[in-house]
């Protein structure tokens, strides 16, 4: 039997009006567009026995919305649920390191650096959790939060739905800096994400831009335009960066909602290429190849250097795919029925598949060490070991 190796790699006034507009757009994400209802999901066919995948552990947390991606840090996975559960797991064994309960529920979860964890509760308060999950402090924000907060070396960075940024000391809650941002009139009810590169926070915003700001003081280092509005109506012109950007080998790649995806240089933000791509999930890349899932379920791969189309797979059409995870020679992607399909990163051939609890996999799969971790909408948390 031929097998492929699994190779790990790496509120008031206008502000309130914007938030009401954002809520109005939330329904777009269920249908992915204002287009007619999509066809029924493509039935899953047989899979050649090329990649073997073991379920090494599983556990349960509460209901998990689509933007609640698990956080990976220091060999641990942190998962949060809408009802306020926060669970820190050892990624290799799945054993609970600690559990916490945030009163009133959570609106944006979870960021962690392995020592400190941050979530935002249902009353728009940043909540900092310590090394054992204990609540250290809360801070009331003037806006709602969709994007999970990020924690970098003891500093919590939060992006509000109105696109404003704040940075706090994770240990004591001291505000280090904040950054006003002039958001567009209409905002998308879907979070982006934040990454750290060379002491700079790299993130996407609601205007289709990628930005880098210094972690120490919030000063902007560069800004670049990845996606440009093309439509006539306000809804058609929404180009928010959706899902966390992906970094590898000096590149940062991301997607604008239902518009473009592309890559830029991490050093100065220079955009290397963009490609028209009708989708709403994050992309994954390794510096050589970029993979994204389109809104109709086609999985598309591009050359990271110039955006040349490399391959596509249409065997998972209309299955409401999660963002992909590209690791080594394999691409993993979840679907609406709780299946995880594995594709060969060289040609897009499906080479393996596993099932979970039958509920949708909306949040992107993540890698912690050698373990692929998937979270379902019902709160099933699964650790897989492909080999």
pLDDT by 10-residue block (mean), the chain, 387 residues: 41 39 42 63 94 96 89 95 96 96 92 97 97 98 93 96 94 94 62 91 92 96 88 67 94 92 97 94 97 97 98 97 96 98 98 97 94 96 94
* 310: enclosing H helix or E strand: strand 309-313
Measured between alpha carbons, how far is 129 from 266 in angstroms, rounded to an integer?
Answer: 31
Number of other CB atoms surrounding residue 198 within 10 Å? 11
**362-381 exposure pattern, b = at least 16 Cβ within 10 A, e = fewer:** bbbbbbbbbbbbbbbbbbbb
Sign of CA dihedral 295, 301, 302, 308: negative
Predicted local confidence at residue 232, as pLDDT:
61
Predicted local confidence at residue 36, as pLDDT:
63
Give which of 342, 344, 264 is closest to 304, Cα–Cα. Answer: 264
Measured between alpha carbons, how far is 33 from 108 in angstroms, rounded to an integer?
Answer: 23
Helices (H), the chain: 13-31
The model's pTM is: 0.89
Residues in the chain: 387
Residues 39-52 pLDDT 10s:
999 999 999 989 99
Instruction: Compute the C-alpha angle 35/20/208, nearest 5°.
Output: 60
Measured between alpha carbons, how far is 380 from 359 in angstroms, rounded to an integer?
Answer: 9
Domains and CATH numbers, the chain: 69-189 (2.40.128.630)
- The tokens for 299 are 């999985």
């Amino acid at each position: 039997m031929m097998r492929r190796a699994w190779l790990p790699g790496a509120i008031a006034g206008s502000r309130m009006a914007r938030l009401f507009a954002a809520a109005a757009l939330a329904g777009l994400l269920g249908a992915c567009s204002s287009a007619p209802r999509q066809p029924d999901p493509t039935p899953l066919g047989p899979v050649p026995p090329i990649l073997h995948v073991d379920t090494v552990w599983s556990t349960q947390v509460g209901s998990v919305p689509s933007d609640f991606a698990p956080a990976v840090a220091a060999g641990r996975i942190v998962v949060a649920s809408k009802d306020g559960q926060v669970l820190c797991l050892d990624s290799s064994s799945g054993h609970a390191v600690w559990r916490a309960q945030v009163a009133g529920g959570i609106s944006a979860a979870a960021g962690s650096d392995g020592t400190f964890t941050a979530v935002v509760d249902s009353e728009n308060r940043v909540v900092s959790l310590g090394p054992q999950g204990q609540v250290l402090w809360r801070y009331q924000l003037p806006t709602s939060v969709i994007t999970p907060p990020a924690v970098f070396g003891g500093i919590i960075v939060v992006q509000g739905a109105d696109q404003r940024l704040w940075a706090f000391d994770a240990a004591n809650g001291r505000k280090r800096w904040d950054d006003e941002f002039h958001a567009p009139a209409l905002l998308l009810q879907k979070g982006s994400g934040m990454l750290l590169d060379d002491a700079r926070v790299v993130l996407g915003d609601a205007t289709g831009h990628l930005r880098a700001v210094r972690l120490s003081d919030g000063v902007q280092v560069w800004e670049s335009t990845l996606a440009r509005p093309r439509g006539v109506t306000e809804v058609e012109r929404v180009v928010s960066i959706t899902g966390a950007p992906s970094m590898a080998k000096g590149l940062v790649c991301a997607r604008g909602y239902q518009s473009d995806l592309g890559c830029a240089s991490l050093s100065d933000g220079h955009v290397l290429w963009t490609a028209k791509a009708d989708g709403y999930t994050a992309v994954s890349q390794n510096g050589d190849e970029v993979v994204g899932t389109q809104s109709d379920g086609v999985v598309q791969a591009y050359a990271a250097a110039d955006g040349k189309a490399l391959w596509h797979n249409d065997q998972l059409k209309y299955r409401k795919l999660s963002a992909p995870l590209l690791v080594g020679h394999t691409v993993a992607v979840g679907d609406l029925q709780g299946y995880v399909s594995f594709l060969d990163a060289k040609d897009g051939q499906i080479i393996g598949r596993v099932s979970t609890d039958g509920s949708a996999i909306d949040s992107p799969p993540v890698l912690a060490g050698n373990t692929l971790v998937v979270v379902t909408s019902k709160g099933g948390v699964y650790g897989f070991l492909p080999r």
